[in-house]
Structure 1
Amino acid sequence: MQEKIKLLIAEDNGYLSSNIKDFMASQPEIEVVGVAVNAQEALEMVKLTQPTALITDLIMPQSDGFVLLEKLSSGQYGKMPETIVLSALGNEAMIQRALSLGAKYYMVKPFELDLLYKRLLDLFNMRSVPTKVPVPAVKSRSLDEKITSIFLSIGIPAHIKGYQYLREGIKITIRNPEIINTITKELYPGIAQHFGTTPSKVERAIRHAIEVAWSRGRIENLNEIFGYKIYNNNDKPTNGEFIALIADRLTIEQTA
């Protein structure tokens, strides 16, 4: 019988690390040996537990995931664990750097826990690939329909201006992901031009839409959409975070 995968998790987001830990610990092939919030903690746990697998974020406080990869790949901590990197950043240079330092997979947040689990099994050749069974073709929903479905699920009403502005902002961000880094200089003005209004009104209306959604208390619906607990009722995202979150999710669906 094959030994269990000894998994170490390095992730500073408490909600996410808890969900990854609980999900992986419930799998028969995996033993979670520790959870760290930065690279230094992770390295200390590597010494103590000798994990065979590592799931790590890149952006963490004090010392980040790149520091962790660099030290592990140097060999001073023994054989490097089979490593999967998680990050909200899909920059090609960062991906290549992580892979060059020994990571085997790079997964962009948000992601499906089940897919993360499958990739972990793949690293150890522990997943059998089922024979493909032909399935009837299903008409895919349009991007507008997908966005509308998410908005309705979390309680953003269609009659408020922020609804339309958010939808346009998400569509623009899917076409040009880098624009989220210049939200006040480019994204808000782009939305404002489309609707014949001002960037400041766009920003306020989007903020209002997010506030309305959180006040309705349907945040668990948003967590269900992403497959893990990312927010609670007291933890509201910024406009940019919310737009990027939805845009990334829909981009992943389009490319899956």
Structure 2
Amino acid sequence: MSQHILIVDDEKNIAISVDYLLRREGYAVSVAHDGEEGLRLIREERPDLVLLDIMMPRLDGFQVCEAVRQDPALAGIRIVMLTAKGRDAEREKGLALGADAYITKPFSTRELVSQIKALLAPAA
């Protein structure tokens, strides 16, 4: 069974291109276009990993990350912040809230895929 990744990003062009990239790598992918929808899908689908933008309508990525980390039933879900917010303070906040990785836009697709593979690799 392929691993499931949820993309939560209100920028449709980014969501479409990352969706295509990840499907090509063999992942099952679903997409949400705002934080509220993203949190609902995280709870319903229990993806292995979430690619989470920060600046979104309804709930921002920080709020979604915090909600996921506060729910013990969702503890195993990996979170990668994928955002244009690249300042150190934002990176530190994302990691402090429980994100497993923080990648800034524009990003290298090779870096993104290698980060995802590293986070989803079985523990040795």
CA contact (8 A) 2:47 2:77 kept: yes
Q: Secondary structure at the match of 1:55?
A: strand
Unaligned stretches of 5+ residues in structure 1: 127-256
* 1:104 match: 100
Matches of residues 46-65 of structure 1 in structure 2 within 5 Å?
46-65=42-61
* 2:71 match: 75
**Does 2:49 match 1:15?**
no
For the pair shown, the structure with the greater C-alpha radius of gyration is 1
* 1:44 match: 40
| Structure 1 residue identity aligned to 2:13 | Y
CA distance in 1: counterparts of 2:10 and 2:107, whole angstroms? 16
* 2:28 match: 31
* 2:62 match: 66
| Structure 2 residue identity aligned to 1:13 | E
Offset, 1:10 = 0.3
Moved over 3 A (4+): none
Q: 1:21 to 1:5 in 2, by over 3 A?
A: same
CA contact (8 A) 2:6 2:31 kept: yes
| Structure 2 residue identity aligned to 1:78 | L
Offset, 1:101 = 1.3
**Does 2:118 match 1:122?**
yes
**Does 2:7 match 1:4?**
no
CA contact (8 A) 2:48 2:120 kept: no
Identity %: 25
Offset, 1:80 = 4.5
Q: Secondary structure at the match of 1:67?
A: helix
Provide the aligned C-alpha RMSD in A: 1.5
Bigger RCO (CA 8 Å, 6+ sep): 2
Offset, 1:60 = 0.7
CA distance in 1: counterparts of 2:43 and 2:85, whole angstroms? 29
Higher helix share: 1
Matches of residues 1-256 of structure 1 in structure 2 within 5 Å?
3-28=1-26, 30-32=27-29, 34-75=30-71, 77-125=73-121
Q: 1:125 to 1:76 in 2, by over 3 A?
A: closer
TM-score computed with the length of structure 1 as normaliser: 0.45
| Cα deviations by residue, 1:18-77 (Å, 9 ceiling, x for unpaired) | 00001101112x111x21111110111112211010101111112110110110010155
Unaligned stretches of 5+ residues in structure 2: none
